[in-house]
Chains A and B, each alone.
Chain A
Amino acid sequence: MTDDTTSHLHTDEDQRWPETKKGIVRDAFGVALATGAYGTSFGAISIASGLTLLQTCILSLVMFTGGSQFALVGVIAGGGNPVAGAATAAMLGSRNALYGIRMAALLKVKGWRRFATAQLVIDETTAMAVGRHSERASRLGFYATGLLLFTLWNLGTLVGGIGADFVSDPKVLGLDAAATGAFVALLAPQVRGGEAWAIALAAGAVAVASSPFVPGGVPVLIAALVALAFGFRPGTNAPKDEA
């Protein structure tokens, strides 16, 4: 959002702010609740993979990026080397760097706050921050989702870890599809117009098509090339910033 646009929308935006704020916090809670439910399945799977409750909880607190956590415990469950698991987890987590670049422009955090904010840069917080009409709405989307999700993801992990015997197979409850549903709901507001649709479909196709040939986590990174290709398309001007 350029300064120019901000001043144009200022009064109107101010008037609607309380309502906007309520809506964002409600959505953030919804995202956090769904992720927390999914967190129970992480807790259960982690224990079933042979990790202790302490190790499981530390992963959710410190690693705090779902896909990477599932990847690490998946490798350990399959009898793989935990260091190889760590590499897979890091590779999957590398997309957060790409989100971070986007968030750096929106959040403009400096000093020690950058180190705390970095921990919250994940799929859900990024998705809740982009596509907003103002910077403060983006910030609220990011931090409200980040803090609520951090709390519920860790609570969910603990509950799932303790009750491992009851939810050891997340597939029975369709919990794996719950995560997909959440991503669809998060992506939808961003897919406006032909170009966004083209990018989404191309990225999905590239990721699936490449998955037989590369290790887990890499297909998603290969799909990042789709965004690069569209970004470098000749004759395209940079957007005024839709955030």
Chain B
Amino acid sequence: MIWLGIALGCLGCYAFKLAGLSVPHKVLENSRVRRISALMPVALLAALIAVQTFTDGQRIVFDARVVGLLVALLAVWRKWPFLVVVFLAAASTALVRLAFGA
């Protein structure tokens, strides 16, 4: 049963990846499609960040992760390198959990 889930999941995920890449060239030349596809990564990445930070399953929560996000935003604003941003987000979240046991 687990193998079936793995097989179907892998198939579904790959199909989506391939589908996007296979959109005909003519459609891509449409200015509206170009504009929307340029905006899409911004919306999806922002949504991922928000969901990863403010939800737990289907609940909206505010916990140590909020601190991690704020620290990451600060680090990005200061134009610190990628790995520093990642490290600070993880470390600050871990420290808040350690301090407050959350």
Contacts and interface: CB of A to CB of B under 8 A. Distances in A.
Nearest to B59: A212
A130 B43 CA distance: 14
A interface, by DSSP: helix, strand, loop or mixed? helix
Q: What are the 8 closest A-B residue pairs judged by CB atoms, nearest first?
A: A100-B20, A82-B5, A181-B89, A90-B12, A238-B31, A204-B50, A223-B47, A177-B68
B interface, by DSSP: helix, strand, loop or mixed? helix
Contacts of B91: 174
B42 A190 contact: yes
Contacts of B83: 30, 33-34
Interface of A: 27, 30-31, 33-34, 50-51, 55, 58-59, 62-65, 67-68, 72, 75-76, 81-83, 85-87, 89-90, 93-105, 107, 109, 114-115, 117-119, 121-123, 126-127, 130, 171-188, 190-191, 196, 199-208, 211-213, 215-216, 219-220, 222-224, 226-228, 230-232, 236-239, 241-243
A100 B14 CA distance: 11
A224 B44 CA distance: 6
Contact of A236 (B10, B19, B35, B76): B35
Contacts of A188: 76
A242 B38 CA distance: 8
Contacts of A105: 28, 34, 37
A180 B38 contact: no
A51 B9 CA distance: 14
A58 B10 CA distance: 9
Interface of B: 1-10, 12-23, 25, 28, 31-55, 57-60, 64-65, 68-69, 71-73, 75-76, 81-83, 85-95, 97
Given A98-B40, A102-B37, A203-B46, A93 B17 contact: yes
Residue in A174, A208, A243 with the greatest tally of chain B CB atoms within 10 Å: A174
A183 B5 contact: no
27 contacts: A33-B83, A55-B3, A62-B14, A83-B4, A85-B5, A96-B17, A99-B40, A100-B22, A101-B23, A101-B37, A102-B38, A114-B18, A121-B17, A123-B44, A127-B41, A173-B90, A178-B89, A180-B49, A180-B65, A182-B89, A185-B86, A187-B45, A196-B42, A200-B43, A204-B47, A207-B47, A237-B31
Contacts of A208: 50-51, 54-55, 60
A192 to B, nearest CB: 10
Contact of B41 (A33, A126, A236): A126
A114 B21 contact: yes
Contacts of B51: 207-208, 211, 219-220
Contacts of B28: 101, 104-105
A125 to B, nearest CB: 10
Contacts of B36: 227-228, 231-232
Contact of B2 (A82, A177, A212): A82
B55 A90 contact: no
